[in-house]
Structure 1
């Protein structure tokens, strides 16, 4: 026995889809599988947002390709000393030298040492290169840049510890020097955050924002770039040495000196790289961006990037998976589902974008996948459920209903089907029973195989006629059928009930017409010709599933069903036509003036205490201008 998925309530389907999808995505996300996509979205939002104006506190002295051609590389100590001297003449707040000078480059070593001894000069080091030997530790910062697994520089490593010693970054050393002149010193809060002026620097974790598996050692923050090109004003080394830089560009500013020539190789990928005409950003410019972020946060209160806790992020993802699942359940039309889903994703985009403009980085790719996967899961379940429901409907009603009834039934399946069954409902329907006259005699005269083939031709004709008149065949009763008009969808208006009665009576007369044609064909083939009886009654019934889930039957019970059956079988000897159609007054009142009838009077039907007023239907009523229809041809009684 094949196992079936359980029937679930809408809330149950949505809840299971959302919880399973969220659990799956949170697990996949924790492995870093979605980090790359979250970072791409981060880069896209960085590029899309408006650029900030250049930081007026900074100036970059860039060593260009033209400077290399003019002064050579590496720069001599004298050339560098002259440049530092020119800058110091205009009282800069600090000078950051993003050049390695651990070795002398004569001539002019003594001149350079004199300039390096200035208290406002900050030098660099890294793991492989020592700082200038004359600089004290308080004026040395590392210039290492931390890149993400996919390449771009998105983080600012401010400090890290090695062998119990805290090392400071190049940009942090410059910021400390400058801000101490302004009377702003950092403090460490009880939580470990750095409180500095208007800013609170919270360290990154390995799962902050869209990250999942980064190395978050040291004290790192997410780098908030000012702009792609003009984050800081930039002049060339030649301009400095040729005295072409206005003094006000230098006075009380922080000056960063470094190479911007691509041939030197100190260039890096950034969030701007994928669409930029200049895919790389010079290291000295990135350090200036980091320095500007520190100053802007401490002095100006420019927002630092913030992130939700892991629990809030999971709740955020769950909320969107619930939304996707709910939309998929309640939007049944494909176009409506696509439209509403697109609108939902649009809301997610705008929400994420609005939060990003407020310096918040929250998951985007994971909620989108949650929406899509949960919604797809619900759609798949609905397709499975619809398939099961269709099987149930076809099992209950077979293929004995007209296309119109089948369509109406299928469109209303949610109201009809409950726990794999059609719940019982009280409705007014017109029941129709048929039977063959003297079938027992005929069956004795034919071989079983021939009898079955002959009988199937007859039953096929009855099925077609019932379907043409929008009825359903509930069961085959050997040589007859039990059909109903007005089920399984309850009629709400009297006009609809009257139309069902008309269809049933018209169906009976059409059976008479088709049987005449069938008899002529059988007579030519040497097969028996037959007469049939039809009983029709309109009244209340109860219709629904009978049996269990493993064996179901669509049943119709009630006194109206019994009366229709008794009408078919009453007065069996009173039959002079090929097809006798009997109805009761309850049906006649619904079809008045549409059929010609013969009153048989009140009759006592088998099993009924009360008399039933019976009528025989002779023909359809002629409309004005119609050619008279020949009366039904009497059919001779078979010889016995």
Structure 2
């Protein structure tokens, strides 16, 4: 039980407990999905910051139908004849594949036969549909392409915040599997490179296109929590950024203003950008810094096609993720590091610097991993780091406050201000698990007591007695503190003081200084007594004499008492000897020398340090009460000056 209490009271144990609690709390909050919006925003920001290759230009050209174009053609939707004319003019420029992002589920005469013949005869023309039955919002493909491989659905996966971050390869209803428009267009382009879509031989559940394997996105991958990942989804990571593709209008096509090099052997995507058609999606764009903006559907299809083609040709895989155990360990690890760092924080500016440094380190590591193709949880790691650091710092500040209060309660009334400050600055040497640490010290103990105090006290009224006694105590306490002593206790008119506490002395020289300071203090107390005697006679108060006993040696020092009343004290044989020297022959006035008002007796252990500084009268070996062995005592005889 004692071992458990000691462990529980240690800062390291508290740090470990805080790490686990904060880490588990952040993991729990993340599991609920409450951090998903922040993590997805961090993902968008990472895409914007990530360095992009400057030498890659996607082989994609956009042909847009604008509001002005619709006004010029004076018809919307475009008739089959108009659409066939635009497609034929583009085919004349030798594109590798054309994808038209325009629904054509119903004939729009005139020119229906012309349109059907064109798309039937040109396998590199790909149309769109909207997945699902018409009754549930689906839009059928052009009838001429219904059973062909020239059709793909245009459906987009929209996250809870309204942004598109995921692409689709397939959707299925349990009976029919449909391919996405972007996948069909990309595969049609890659056919000439001898690249197709195949199962990965090493991971059969994943699909491989060229040099890259696309594992299916799972519901809890990355920042997602129980996401709807039906079909075959992949994460959009735009390895070259959201590209500004070369763009021309349908009017440019009709007017013959498009250079052949803008079309030849490229992917051409035809779509509508007119505001009235409302074919727009929200996404985070990265070509000119990071911002959220509306993007036309044809442009978004272009970004998806570009990612697939880039990955197939250059081997750029989608982002990878740690499993749940790895991400939880990462989060709890940052909580542990935050707790450890909290133990090192020394003030508000130190806290700010450490906190900022941790956030910067997490951001740097996450971005570095992002460049290498890994998406690590940045927001949860920062929350775990900041939370654990803040709590541990608060715990440390509170603990130090309690320790300072304890130091002030134990020491401040009994030591000089500069000694109290030194004690606080070095208090870590004194405390163990929130309590003053017991320690063996070599100190010099001083006891003093007034001779004949009891008869005088009995003859004085209480108010006058306390005034007289307080005047004496004030004077003696000041003398002790001025000489570096630490008041241990008051016993009525008696005082106990220690020289050499609370910190261990490093060498014999320091122990000698304590002994000398104690004797100097005793001599100064005698001078103070002479001054007080004169005042006492003037006030018609009784004049008393002072006995002092001093001994140097080992003691056990530490706090004694309870939580309600605690004091710092010393115990041991050295203390007993000093007390016995003070009270030696107290019933005999002969123990005082002549007219002196103070008698100073020291033990042999103190004499060896002060010999030669004062005149010493050898009292020989003396039997004192409570000790079987005799002690060698000396009286200090200060000079008359």
Give the TM-score taking structure 1 as reference length. Answer: 0.87
My pick for the range that moved more, 500-509 or 411-420, is 411-420
1:97–1:399 distance in 2 versus 1, CA, 3 Å: same
My pick for the range that moved more, 37-46 or 155-164, is 155-164
Q: Deviations over 1:112-156 (max 9, x none)?
A: 333332322221122343322322243222212222222221111
Contact conserved, 2:69 with 2:251, CA < 8 A, in 1? yes
Are 2:129 and 1:125 equivalent residues in the alignment? yes
1:55–1:420 distance in 2 versus 1, CA, 3 Å: closer
User: Using the alignment, how far apart are the partners of 2:19 and 2:441 within structure 1?
Assistant: 40
Partner of 2:306: 292
Q: Deviations over 1:250-296 (max 9, x none)?
A: 23322111123445432332222896688332211111111111122
Deviation at 1:231, TM superposition (A): 4.6
Partner of 1:8: 9
Q: SS at the partner of 1:87?
A: helix
Partner of 1:67: 69
Unaligned runs of 5+ in 1: 620-630, 633-640
Contact conserved, 1:501 with 1:591, CA < 8 A, in 2? yes
Are 2:37 and 1:36 equivalent residues in the alignment? yes
Deviation at 1:307, TM superposition (A): 0.9
Partner of 1:636: none
Partner of 2:521: 507
Q: SS at the partner of 2:144?
A: coil
Q: 1:359 aligns with which of 369, 373, 389?
A: 373
Q: 1:599 aligns with which of 607, 613, 617?
A: 617
Partner of 1:475: 489
Contact conserved, 1:583 with 1:617, CA < 8 A, in 2? no
Q: Deviations over 1:446-471 (max 9, x none)?
A: 24455345434433433333233222
Q: SS at the partner of 2:143?
A: coil
1:303–1:437 distance in 2 versus 1, CA, 3 Å: same
My pick for the range that moved more, 246-255 or 68-77, is 68-77
Regions of 4+ moved over 6 Å: 547-551
User: Using the alignment, how far apart are the partners of 2:170 and 2:15 within structure 1?
Assistant: 47
My pick for the range that moved more, 543-552 or 281-290, is 543-552
1:528–1:130 distance in 2 versus 1, CA, 3 Å: farther
Contact conserved, 1:18 with 1:322, CA < 8 A, in 2? yes
Q: 1:244 aligns with which of 254, 257, 268?
A: 257
Contact conserved, 1:402 with 1:468, CA < 8 A, in 2? yes
User: Using the alignment, how far apart are the partners of 2:532 and 2:498 within structure 1?
Assistant: 24
Partner of 1:616: 636
User: Using the alignment, how far apart are the partners of 1:230 and 1:340 within structure 2?
Assistant: 39
The two structures, once aligned, show a CA RMSD in angstroms of: 3.0
My pick for the range that moved more, 544-553 or 94-103, is 544-553
Partner of 2:443: 429
Are 2:580 and 1:580 equivalent residues in the alignment? no
1:453–1:168 distance in 2 versus 1, CA, 3 Å: farther
User: Using the alignment, how far apart are the partners of 2:601 and 2:78 within structure 1?
Assistant: 116
Partner of 2:133: none
User: Using the alignment, how far apart are the partners of 1:79 and 1:416 within structure 2?
Assistant: 91
Unaligned runs of 5+ in 2: 131-136
Q: 2:267 aligns with which of 247, 254, 257?
A: 254
Partner of 2:211: 198
Partner of 2:394: 380
Deviation at 1:223, TM superposition (A): 0.4
Deviation at 1:221, TM superposition (A): 0.9
1:276–1:411 distance in 2 versus 1, CA, 3 Å: closer
1:254–1:323 distance in 2 versus 1, CA, 3 Å: same
Q: Deviations over 1:143-179 (max 9, x none)?
A: 1222222222111122222253222211012123333
Partner of 1:183: 194
Q: 1:496 aligns with which of 490, 494, 510?
A: 510
User: Using the alignment, how far apart are the partners of 1:44 and 1:420 within structure 2?
Assistant: 45
1:523–1:297 distance in 2 versus 1, CA, 3 Å: same
Give the TM-score taking structure 2 as reference length. Answer: 0.87
User: Using the alignment, how far apart are the partners of 2:48 and 2:162 within structure 1?
Assistant: 17
Partner of 2:385: 371
Deviation at 1:500, TM superposition (A): 1.7
Q: 2:171 aligns with which of 153, 156, 160?
A: 160
1:479–1:144 distance in 2 versus 1, CA, 3 Å: same
Q: SS at the partner of 1:235?
A: strand
